[in-house]
Amino acid sequence: MTNWSVFKFGGNSLKDIDSLKKAIELVSDFGKDPLLIVVSAMAKTTNSLEAYLEAKINGDEILAKSILDEVINFHFQLSESMGLLDQTLKLGLEGEWNRIQGVPSDFAYDKRYDAIVSAGEIVSSIILHAAIQTKHPQSSWLDSRRVIYTNNNHRRAEIDLLTTEHNIQNDLKNERGIWITQGFIGYSIENQDYTTLGREGSDYSAAIFAYALNAEELTIWKDVPGLMSGDPKVFENVRLLEEVPYEEAIELAFFGASVIHPKTVQPLKSRNIILHVRSFLNNESKATKIGNFKKLKPVVPCLIKKSNQVMLSIRTKDLSFLSEGQLSEIYNIFSDIGLIVNLAQHGAASATFSVSNDHIILPLVLLKLQEYKVEIENNLVLYTVRYSDEVSRNWLYMKGKPKMEQRSLNIDRVLLSE
């Protein structure tokens, strides 16, 4: 274990002048030396850059320009209102905007996506770096594309862990002070291209940095008090989970607890690095520690709502028996395209899946499933209750008639109409 610690700030903790000031304050108050800060794109920038690309693809140049102008103005104004907009920052920002406008339109979709959408993290990190420099002039900026090496599976690139660890060690091993870098993005050496790790992937990047540095701890600053027994925006009477075993955190994230990205915990677990999930608004309050604990504290029903689900019911065209070979073919199609299955059931002649409705991935999957008969039902929501009890079970089954359900000892999962 080294004495590095890692902070991660997400889009919500970098969305306006107040949150940016808060982030700087947290770095001064809680940051130890050496400290690496991993950021994601500010506010909803990733969504906007996706919309920009969509407009470009549809040939709607007017819309594309207006979306990009808005993104540019947002970053420009935020920098200016913080008094940061000197020549260096101006050049840095303009460089990125020019770069993405120059991304060739004949790039394959996924490659074009990564080249454009990665700008969100780059500009966010250069603005935060400028902001932190006002208090800590010696702080440094690290381009994560120099160190996070991936395969060339654009939009959901997988990290080459060995090389990445080596690169990070090489760059940072003997360093001290504050470093600022980007989550979500990487670099494919084979194609000499930018890559991204999948939406919401910057927690995962932060975990990889912590892993490679063999850090003492990773703190993810959030706009919630920590990992809760349910999303407070959705459920009443939720409680803060104070201690969460690594395995439990992996399960909760897989079921859809959106506070942390599902891939985040594994690298930390393998090196016994504590993960703190803390509120950046109220940092005096209790927080969540994810670590090598024996059990959840407190043990309470954990409620997870995953909206925007689609149920796919898949049969053979002649309604014959669905073989294991066919099931494996179906799963291969899902995994090749990157569709994540949230709940699955299969019987003799059909297989049913609850999957997230991704407007890019789903049409590609349906195209590949043409030799099957596929029925689709939209606008569904998947509820999972872990550590369920009588009360939570009654509550759940009052919500409607399940389209799919799965129950085991202390987990209830049901798919319902929205």
Q: How far is the CB of 48 from ligand ASP (least distance, A)?
A: 10
Which of ligand ASP, Mg ion, none does residue 183 bind (CB under 5 to 8 Å by kind)? ligand ASP
Binding mask 34-53 toward Mg ion (x if CB under 5 A, else -) reads ------xx----x-------
Q: CA-to-CA distance for 128 and 119, rounded, in angstroms?
A: 14
Q: How far is the CB of 297 from Mg ion (least distance, A)?
A: 30
Residue 201 within binding range of Mg ion, rule CB under 5 A? no
* Residue with Cβ nearer Mg ion (6 or 300): 6
Bond into 267 cis (ω within 30):
no
- Which amino acid is it at 104? P
Q: How far is the CB of 123 from ligand ASP (least distance, A)?
A: 11
Q: Report the DSSP pairing between strands 243-245 and 217-222.
A: unpaired
Contact in structure between 204 and 261 (CB atoms under 8 Å)? yes
Which of ligand ASP, Mg ion, none does residue 13 bind (CB under 5 to 8 Å by kind)? none
CB under 8 A, 24+ apart: contacts of 318-324: 319/349, 319/373, 320/349, 321/348, 321/349, 322/346, 322/348, 322/349, 322/350, 322/351
Which of ligand ASP, Mg ion, none does residue 120 bind (CB under 5 to 8 Å by kind)? ligand ASP
Q: How far is the CB of 192 from Mg ion (least distance, A)?
A: 25
Residue 188 within binding range of Mg ion, rule CB under 5 A? no
Q: CA-to-CA distance for 410 and 388, rounded, in angstroms?
A: 5
For residue 296, what are its two tokens? 């959840």
* Partners of 222 in beta bridges: 279
* Residue with Cβ nearer Mg ion (39 or 351): 39
Q: How far is the CB of 374 from ligand ASP (least distance, A)?
A: 28
Which of ligand ASP, Mg ion, none does residue 199 bind (CB under 5 to 8 Å by kind)? ligand ASP
Q: How far is the CB of 151 from ligand ASP (least distance, A)?
A: 19
Q: How far is the CB of 40 from ligand ASP (least distance, A)?
A: 3
Instruction: List residues near ligand ASP by CB under 6 A.
Output: 10-11, 40-41, 46, 120, 183-184, 199-202
* Residue with Cβ nearer Mg ion (6 or 414): 6
Contact in structure between 78 and 18 (CB atoms under 8 Å)? no
Q: CA-to-CA distance for 205 and 354, rounded, in angstroms?
A: 27
* Residue with Cβ nearer Mg ion (11 or 92): 11
Q: In whole angstroms, how far apart are CA 349 and each of 18, 69, 108, 248, 341? A: 56, 52, 37, 34, 19
* Residue with Cβ nearer ligand ASP (259 or 343): 259
Q: Which of 7, 11, 188, 386 binds Mg ion (CB under 5 A)?
A: 11
* Partners of 288 in beta bridges: 277
* Residue with Cβ nearer Mg ion (110 or 203): 203
For residue 47, what are its two tokens? 């969504």
Q: CA-to-CA distance for 350 and 327, rounded, in angstroms?
A: 9
Burial of 383 (0-12, 13-18, 19+ CB in 10 A): buried
Q: How far is the CB of 290 from Mg ion (least distance, A)?
A: 21
Which of ligand ASP, Mg ion, none does residue 92 bind (CB under 5 to 8 Å by kind)? none
Q: How far is the CB of 199 from ligand ASP (least distance, A)?
A: 4
Binding mask 280-319 toward Mg ion (x if CB under 5 A, else -) reads ----------------------------------------
Q: CA-to-CA distance for 79 and 89, rounded, in angstroms?
A: 9
Q: CA-to-CA distance for 185 and 49, rounded, in angstroms?
A: 14
Q: In whole angstroms, how far apart are CA 233 and each of 154, 237, 251, 381? A: 33, 11, 21, 15
* Residue with Cβ nearer ligand ASP (10 or 230): 10
Q: How far is the CB of 221 from ligand ASP (least distance, A)?
A: 13
For residue 285, what are its two tokens? 């309050």
For residue 253, what are its two tokens? 């994230």
* Residue with Cβ nearer ligand ASP (92 or 120): 120
Q: Nearest to residue 197, comparing CAs of 114, 79, 111?
A: 114
Q: CA-to-CA distance for 39 and 180, rounded, in angstroms?
A: 8
Stretch in the footprint of Mg ion (CB under 5 A) among 3-11, 95-103, 281-289, 367-375: 3-11
Contact in structure between 56 and 105 (CB atoms under 8 Å)? yes
* Residue with Cβ nearer ligand ASP (41 or 132): 41
Question: Which residues contact Mg ion by CB under 5 A?
Answer: 11, 40-41, 46
